[in-house]
Protein backbone atom coordinates (compact mmCIF):
# COMPACT_ATOMS: atom_id res chain seq x y z
CA UNK A 1 0.00 0.00 0.00
CA UNK A 2 1.12 3.52 -0.75
CA UNK A 3 -0.23 6.53 1.15
CA UNK A 4 -0.18 9.98 -0.42
CA UNK A 5 -0.44 12.46 2.42
CA UNK A 6 -1.97 15.64 1.00
CA UNK A 7 -0.94 19.08 2.19
CA UNK A 8 -2.38 21.54 3.11
CA UNK A 9 -4.76 19.50 5.25
CA UNK A 10 -6.36 19.87 8.67
CA UNK A 11 -6.56 22.94 10.85
CA UNK A 12 -6.88 26.32 9.13
CA UNK A 13 -6.02 29.66 10.71
CA UNK A 14 -9.63 30.26 11.84
CA UNK A 15 -9.87 26.89 13.57
CA UNK A 16 -6.45 27.33 15.20
CA UNK A 17 -7.56 30.70 16.54
CA UNK A 18 -10.90 29.35 17.83
CA UNK A 19 -9.26 26.38 19.57
CA UNK A 20 -6.55 28.54 21.13
CA UNK A 21 -9.26 30.93 22.31
CA UNK A 22 -11.17 28.17 24.08
CA UNK A 23 -7.98 26.64 25.52
CA UNK A 24 -6.91 30.01 26.91
CA UNK A 25 -10.40 30.85 28.19
CA UNK A 26 -10.51 27.59 30.16
CA UNK A 27 -7.02 28.24 31.54
CA UNK A 28 -7.66 31.84 32.53
CA UNK A 29 -11.25 31.78 33.69
CA UNK A 30 -11.66 28.13 34.68
CA UNK A 31 -14.56 25.80 33.86
CA UNK A 32 -17.27 26.07 32.89
CA UNK A 33 -16.85 28.15 29.75
CA UNK A 34 -20.03 28.09 27.67
CA UNK A 35 -19.76 27.87 23.88
CA UNK A 36 -22.58 28.78 21.51
CA UNK A 37 -22.74 25.78 19.11
CA UNK A 38 -19.76 23.52 18.52
CA UNK A 39 -16.49 25.48 18.67
CA UNK A 40 -15.61 23.86 15.33
CA UNK A 41 -17.43 21.03 13.57
CA UNK A 42 -15.29 18.15 14.79
CA UNK A 43 -16.25 15.37 17.18
CA UNK A 44 -12.73 14.84 18.58
CA UNK A 45 -12.20 18.54 19.26
CA UNK A 46 -15.64 18.97 20.86
CA UNK A 47 -15.21 15.87 23.06
CA UNK A 48 -11.78 16.97 24.25
CA UNK A 49 -13.11 20.37 25.31
CA UNK A 50 -16.21 18.87 26.89
CA UNK A 51 -13.94 16.82 29.17
CA UNK A 52 -12.06 20.00 30.10
CA UNK A 53 -15.19 21.84 31.16
CA UNK A 54 -16.53 23.53 28.03
CA UNK A 55 -20.33 23.43 27.84
CA UNK A 56 -21.76 23.58 24.33
CA UNK A 57 -25.22 25.11 24.04
CA UNK A 58 -27.63 25.80 21.20
CA UNK A 59 -29.70 28.38 23.07
CA UNK A 60 -28.55 31.26 25.22
CA UNK A 61 -31.22 30.65 27.88
CA UNK A 62 -29.18 27.53 28.75
CA UNK A 63 -26.36 29.83 29.91
CA UNK A 64 -26.58 31.25 33.47
CA UNK A 65 -26.72 35.07 33.62
CA UNK A 66 -23.30 36.67 33.84
CA UNK A 67 -21.42 33.52 32.71
CA UNK A 68 -18.60 33.48 30.18
CA UNK A 69 -19.71 32.61 26.65
CA UNK A 70 -17.64 31.96 23.58
CA UNK A 71 -18.96 32.42 20.05
CA UNK A 72 -17.66 29.70 17.71
CA UNK A 73 -15.62 30.09 14.49
CA UNK A 74 -18.78 30.04 12.35
CA UNK A 75 -20.06 33.43 13.50
CA UNK A 76 -23.37 34.60 14.93
CA UNK A 77 -26.20 36.92 14.04
CA UNK A 78 -26.65 40.35 15.71
CA UNK A 79 -29.72 38.92 17.45
CA UNK A 80 -27.59 36.37 19.35
CA UNK A 81 -25.11 39.12 20.21
CA UNK A 82 -27.98 41.21 21.62
CA UNK A 83 -29.38 38.23 23.56
CA UNK A 84 -25.94 37.67 25.11
CA UNK A 85 -25.73 41.32 26.13
CA UNK A 86 -29.25 41.20 27.64
CA UNK A 87 -28.21 38.20 29.77
CA UNK A 88 -25.06 40.09 30.78
CA UNK A 89 -22.90 37.28 29.45
CA UNK A 90 -19.17 37.89 29.22
CA UNK A 91 -18.85 37.17 25.52
CA UNK A 92 -15.65 36.23 23.72
CA UNK A 93 -15.94 36.23 19.96
CA UNK A 94 -13.92 33.54 18.15
CA UNK A 95 -15.62 34.14 14.79
CA UNK A 96 -13.17 33.53 11.93
CA UNK A 97 -12.22 36.89 10.36
CA UNK A 98 -13.03 35.44 6.92
CA UNK A 99 -16.61 34.82 8.08
CA UNK A 100 -16.76 38.35 9.53
CA UNK A 101 -15.67 39.63 6.11
CA UNK A 102 -18.80 38.06 4.56
CA UNK A 103 -20.98 39.60 7.31
CA UNK A 104 -19.55 43.05 6.51
CA UNK A 105 -20.18 42.56 2.80
CA UNK A 106 -23.76 41.57 3.62
CA UNK A 107 -24.28 44.71 5.68
CA UNK A 108 -22.85 46.91 2.93
CA UNK A 109 -25.08 45.37 0.23
CA UNK A 110 -28.16 45.49 2.47
CA UNK A 111 -27.56 49.16 3.28
CA UNK A 112 -27.33 49.92 -0.45
CA UNK A 113 -30.73 48.30 -1.01
CA UNK A 114 -29.60 45.08 -2.68
CA UNK A 115 -31.39 41.77 -2.41
CA UNK A 116 -28.61 39.34 -1.48
CA UNK A 117 -28.58 35.83 -2.87
CA UNK A 118 -26.53 33.79 -0.42
CA UNK A 119 -25.08 30.64 -1.93
CA UNK A 120 -24.83 28.15 0.92
CA UNK A 121 -26.31 25.23 2.83
CA UNK A 122 -29.58 25.70 4.68
CA UNK A 123 -29.25 25.45 8.45
CA UNK A 124 -25.43 25.63 8.58
CA UNK A 125 -24.31 27.77 11.55
CA UNK A 126 -22.41 30.15 9.30
CA UNK A 127 -25.37 30.64 6.96
CA UNK A 128 -27.74 31.29 9.87
CA UNK A 129 -25.33 33.88 11.30
CA UNK A 130 -24.71 35.65 7.98
CA UNK A 131 -28.41 35.85 7.04
CA UNK A 132 -29.13 37.22 10.50
CA UNK A 133 -27.24 40.41 9.59
CA UNK A 134 -30.12 41.49 7.36
CA UNK A 135 -32.87 38.83 7.39
CA UNK A 136 -35.17 40.72 5.02
CA UNK A 137 -32.47 41.24 2.39
CA UNK A 138 -31.43 37.58 1.97
CA UNK A 139 -32.57 34.73 -0.25
CA UNK A 140 -30.74 31.40 0.18
CA UNK A 141 -29.66 29.62 -3.01
CA UNK A 142 -28.41 26.03 -2.77
CA UNK A 143 -28.29 24.84 -6.39
CA UNK A 144 -28.56 25.98 -10.04
CA UNK A 145 -32.19 24.72 -9.91
CA UNK A 146 -32.88 27.17 -7.07
CA UNK A 147 -31.60 29.94 -9.37
CA UNK A 148 -34.05 28.85 -12.08
CA UNK A 149 -36.93 29.25 -9.63
CA UNK A 150 -36.03 32.83 -8.66
CA UNK A 151 -38.32 35.58 -9.85
CA UNK A 152 -37.12 39.18 -9.91
CA UNK A 153 -38.12 42.09 -12.10
CA UNK A 154 -35.67 43.07 -14.81
CA UNK A 155 -33.17 45.49 -13.37
CA UNK A 156 -33.75 44.41 -9.74
CA UNK A 157 -30.81 45.32 -7.52
CA UNK A 158 -29.17 41.94 -6.87
CA UNK A 159 -25.93 40.84 -5.21
CA UNK A 160 -24.54 37.44 -4.33
CA UNK A 161 -22.33 36.19 -1.52
CA UNK A 162 -21.21 32.68 -0.64
CA UNK A 163 -20.61 30.54 2.43
CA UNK A 164 -16.85 30.23 3.04
CA UNK A 165 -16.64 26.42 2.87
CA UNK A 166 -18.42 25.53 -0.37
CA UNK A 167 -17.20 23.41 -3.25
CA UNK A 168 -15.44 25.89 -5.55
CA UNK A 169 -16.83 24.07 -8.62
CA UNK A 170 -20.43 24.00 -7.34
CA UNK A 171 -20.30 27.66 -6.35
CA UNK A 172 -18.93 28.62 -9.76
CA UNK A 173 -21.75 26.73 -11.47
CA UNK A 174 -24.36 28.56 -9.38
CA UNK A 175 -22.69 31.94 -9.90
CA UNK A 176 -22.54 31.33 -13.68
CA UNK A 177 -26.27 30.54 -13.69
CA UNK A 178 -27.01 33.66 -11.63
CA UNK A 179 -25.06 35.84 -14.07
CA UNK A 180 -26.81 34.23 -17.00
CA UNK A 181 -30.27 34.92 -15.56
CA UNK A 182 -29.49 38.26 -13.92
CA UNK A 183 -26.65 39.97 -15.82
CA UNK A 184 -26.88 43.02 -13.54
CA UNK A 185 -25.95 40.97 -10.42
CA UNK A 186 -22.88 42.10 -8.49
CA UNK A 187 -20.62 40.00 -6.27
CA UNK A 188 -18.08 40.51 -3.50
CA UNK A 189 -14.82 42.33 -4.42
CA UNK A 190 -12.88 39.17 -3.55
CA UNK A 191 -14.46 35.73 -3.45
CA UNK A 192 -15.83 34.46 -0.16
CA UNK A 193 -14.76 30.80 -0.31
CA UNK A 194 -11.77 30.88 2.01
CA UNK A 195 -8.14 30.07 1.20
CA UNK A 196 -8.19 26.92 3.40
CA UNK A 197 -11.24 25.46 1.66
CA UNK A 198 -9.75 26.21 -1.76
CA UNK A 199 -6.31 24.79 -0.97
CA UNK A 200 -7.64 21.52 0.49
CA UNK A 201 -9.88 21.07 -2.56
CA UNK A 202 -7.01 21.86 -4.93
CA UNK A 203 -4.89 19.10 -3.34
CA UNK A 204 -7.68 16.52 -3.71
CA UNK A 205 -8.33 17.59 -7.29
CA UNK A 206 -4.61 17.19 -8.07
CA UNK A 207 -4.06 13.71 -6.58
CA UNK A 208 -7.37 11.89 -6.18
CA UNK A 209 -7.16 10.69 -9.80
CA UNK A 210 -3.90 8.86 -8.89
CA UNK A 211 -5.51 7.11 -5.91
CA UNK A 212 -7.72 4.03 -5.51
CA UNK A 213 -9.23 5.23 -2.24
CA UNK A 214 -9.45 8.66 -0.61
CA UNK A 215 -9.73 9.03 3.15
CA UNK A 216 -11.00 12.41 4.36
CA UNK A 217 -10.61 12.97 8.08
CA UNK A 218 -13.44 15.12 9.35
CA UNK A 219 -16.88 15.01 10.93
CA UNK A 220 -20.11 14.47 9.03
CA UNK A 221 -21.35 17.95 9.96
CA UNK A 222 -18.17 19.63 8.69
CA UNK A 223 -19.08 21.37 5.44
CA UNK A 224 -15.55 21.69 4.06
CA UNK A 225 -14.76 18.03 4.90
CA UNK A 226 -17.90 16.83 3.14
CA UNK A 227 -16.95 18.85 0.08
CA UNK A 228 -13.54 17.11 -0.02
CA UNK A 229 -15.18 13.67 0.03
CA UNK A 230 -17.64 14.73 -2.70
CA UNK A 231 -14.82 16.10 -4.82
CA UNK A 232 -12.90 12.82 -4.56
CA UNK A 233 -16.04 10.90 -5.55
CA UNK A 234 -16.50 13.25 -8.54
CA UNK A 235 -12.97 12.25 -9.61
CA UNK A 236 -14.30 8.68 -9.77
CA UNK A 237 -12.50 7.48 -6.64
CA UNK A 238 -13.93 5.67 -3.62
CA UNK A 239 -14.01 8.22 -0.80
CA UNK A 240 -14.66 7.79 2.93
CA UNK A 241 -15.31 10.68 5.31
CA UNK A 242 -14.29 9.45 8.76
CA UNK A 243 -13.79 11.05 12.18
CA UNK A 244 -10.76 8.96 13.05
CA UNK A 245 -9.11 5.53 13.14
CA UNK A 246 -12.10 3.88 14.88
CA UNK A 247 -14.19 4.47 11.76
CA UNK A 248 -11.57 3.05 9.42
CA UNK A 249 -12.67 -0.37 8.16
CA UNK A 250 -9.74 -2.56 7.02
CA UNK A 251 -12.18 -4.39 4.72
CA UNK A 252 -12.09 -1.32 2.46
CA UNK A 253 -8.60 -2.34 1.34
CA UNK A 254 -6.85 -5.33 -0.27
CA UNK A 255 -3.47 -3.95 0.73
CA UNK A 256 -2.07 -2.95 -2.66
CA UNK A 257 -3.92 0.36 -3.05
CA UNK A 258 -2.74 3.93 -3.36
CA UNK A 259 -4.60 5.81 -0.62
CA UNK A 260 -4.85 9.60 -0.62
CA UNK A 261 -5.29 10.99 2.89
CA UNK A 262 -6.45 14.51 3.62
CA UNK A 263 -8.31 16.26 6.43
CA UNK A 264 -10.93 18.98 6.62
CA UNK A 265 -10.11 22.34 8.21
CA UNK A 266 -11.48 21.31 11.62
CA UNK A 267 -9.83 17.86 11.88
CA UNK A 268 -6.82 17.52 14.22
CA UNK A 269 -3.53 16.15 12.89
CA UNK A 270 -3.57 13.45 15.61
CA UNK A 271 -6.40 11.59 13.84
CA UNK A 272 -4.50 11.73 10.53
CA UNK A 273 -1.40 10.29 12.24
CA UNK A 274 -3.44 7.56 13.92
CA UNK A 275 -4.93 6.48 10.57
CA UNK A 276 -1.52 6.49 8.88
CA UNK A 277 -0.12 4.34 11.71
CA UNK A 278 -3.03 1.93 11.44
CA UNK A 279 -2.49 1.46 7.69
CA UNK A 280 1.27 1.18 8.16
CA UNK A 281 0.83 -1.54 10.77
CA UNK A 282 -1.85 -3.45 8.93
CA UNK A 283 -0.77 -3.11 5.29
CA UNK A 284 2.90 -2.16 5.54
CA UNK A 285 2.04 1.15 3.86
CA UNK A 286 4.70 3.59 2.69
CA UNK A 287 4.02 7.33 2.99
CA UNK A 288 4.71 10.08 0.48
CA UNK A 289 3.92 13.68 1.51
CA UNK A 290 2.89 16.07 -1.25
CA UNK A 291 2.25 19.80 -0.93
CA UNK A 292 0.13 21.65 -3.45
CA UNK A 293 0.69 25.04 -1.78
CA UNK A 294 2.24 26.42 1.42
CA UNK A 295 -0.01 28.18 3.96
CA UNK A 296 1.20 30.81 6.40
CA UNK A 297 -2.06 32.46 7.49
CA UNK A 298 -2.44 33.44 11.14
CA UNK A 299 -5.33 35.17 12.91
CA UNK A 300 -4.83 37.01 16.21
CA UNK A 301 -6.78 36.03 19.32
CA UNK A 302 -10.07 37.82 20.03
CA UNK A 303 -9.78 41.28 21.58
CA UNK A 304 -11.28 40.08 24.87
CA UNK A 305 -8.36 37.71 25.49
CA UNK A 306 -5.74 40.20 24.33
CA UNK A 307 -7.07 42.72 26.87
CA UNK A 308 -6.94 40.16 29.68
CA UNK A 309 -3.34 39.33 28.69
CA UNK A 310 -2.16 42.90 29.49
S1 LIG B 1 -12.52 27.07 7.00
FE2 LIG B 1 -12.00 29.11 6.27
S3 LIG B 1 -13.68 30.43 6.95
FE4 LIG B 1 -13.81 28.51 8.14
S5 LIG B 1 -12.65 28.92 9.99
FE6 LIG B 1 -11.20 28.04 8.52
S7 LIG B 1 -10.25 29.84 7.49
FE8 LIG B 1 -12.11 30.54 8.54
Instruction: Determine the distance separating the centroid of ligand 1 and the alpha carbon of 234, expressed in angstroms.
Output: 23
Closest CA to 133 of 108, 98, 152: 108
Q: 3-state DSSP call for residue 61? A: helix
| Mean pLDDT value across residues 107-119 | 98
Q: Is the CB of 98 under 6 A from ligand 1?
A: yes
Q: Which atom of ligand 1 is nearest to the CA of 12?
A: 6
Strand order in the sheet with 138-141: 138-141, 115-119, 158-162
Give residue 307's pLDDT. Answer: 63
What is the Cα 23 distance to its own chain's centre? 19
Measured from the CA of 40, which atom of ligand 1 is nearest?
Answer: 5
pLDDT, mean over the chain: 96
Confidence grade of residue 304 (pLDDT, cut at 50, 70, 90) = confident
pLDDT of the residue at 289: 98
Q: Kindly state the average pLDDT of the residues 141-147.
A: 98
Ramachandran sector of residue 167 (left: φ over 0; alpha: ψ -120 to 50; beta: rest): beta
| Residue nearest to ligand 1 atom 7, measured at CA | 14
Q: Please report the pLDDT score of residue 104 as a whole number.
A: 97
Q: Which of 243, 232, 237, 161 is nearest to 201 (CA)?
A: 232
User: Is the confidence at residue 180, as pLDDT, over 80?
Assistant: yes
38, 65, 79, 126: the catalytic one is 126
Helix 13-29, helix 97-111: angle, nearest 10: 110
Ligand 1, atom 2, residue with closest C-alpha: 194
**3-class DSSP assignment, residue 239:** strand
Say if ligand 1 is within 6 A of residue 12 CB. yes
pLDDT at residue number 306: 81
Q: Give the pLDDT confidence of 10-22 residue by residue, as tens digits.
A: 999 999 999 999 9
What is the CA angle 216-218-224, rounded to 5?
85
User: Which residue out of 165, 192, 198 has the highest number of ligand 1 atoms within 8 Å of its CB and is therefore the one to mutate?
Assistant: 165
Answer whether residue 59 shows pLDDT above 80. Answer: yes
Between the CA of 256 and the centroid of ligand 1 the distance, in Å, is 35
167 lines ligand 1 (CB under 6 A): no
Instruction: Answer yes or no: 126 catalytic.
Output: yes
203-249 pLDDT tens trace: 999 999 999 999 999 999 999 999 999 999 999 999 999 999 999 99
- Residue 96 CA: nearest ligand 1 atom is 8
Span 45-58, mean pLDDT? 98
Q: Among 17, 45, 73, 202, name the best residue to mutate to test ligand 1's pocket (greatest count of ligand atoms within 8 A of Cβ).
A: 73
Nearest to 94 by CA among 38, 144, 135, 145: 38
pLDDT tens readout for residues 240-299: 999 999 999 999 999 999 999 999 999 999 999 999 999 999 999 999 999 999 999 999
CB of residue 15 inside a 6 A radius of ligand 1: yes
- Ligand 1 atom 8: residue of nearest CA: 14
**DSSP tag of 216:** E
pLDDT at 308: 53
Strands 115-119 and 158-162: parallel
Query: Is residue 99 in contact with ligand 1, taking CB distance under 6 Å?
Result: yes
Q: What's phi and psi for 140, nearest 5 deg?
A: -85, 135
Amino acid sequence: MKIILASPRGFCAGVNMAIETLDLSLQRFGAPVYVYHEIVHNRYVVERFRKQGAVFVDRLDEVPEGARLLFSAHGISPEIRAQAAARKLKAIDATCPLVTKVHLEALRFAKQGYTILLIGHSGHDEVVGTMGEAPDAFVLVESPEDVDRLEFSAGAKLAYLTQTTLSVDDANRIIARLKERFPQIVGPPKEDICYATQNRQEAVRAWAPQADVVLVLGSQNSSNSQRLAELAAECGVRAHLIDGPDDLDPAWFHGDETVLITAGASAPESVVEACVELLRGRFNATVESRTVREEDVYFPLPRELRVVAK
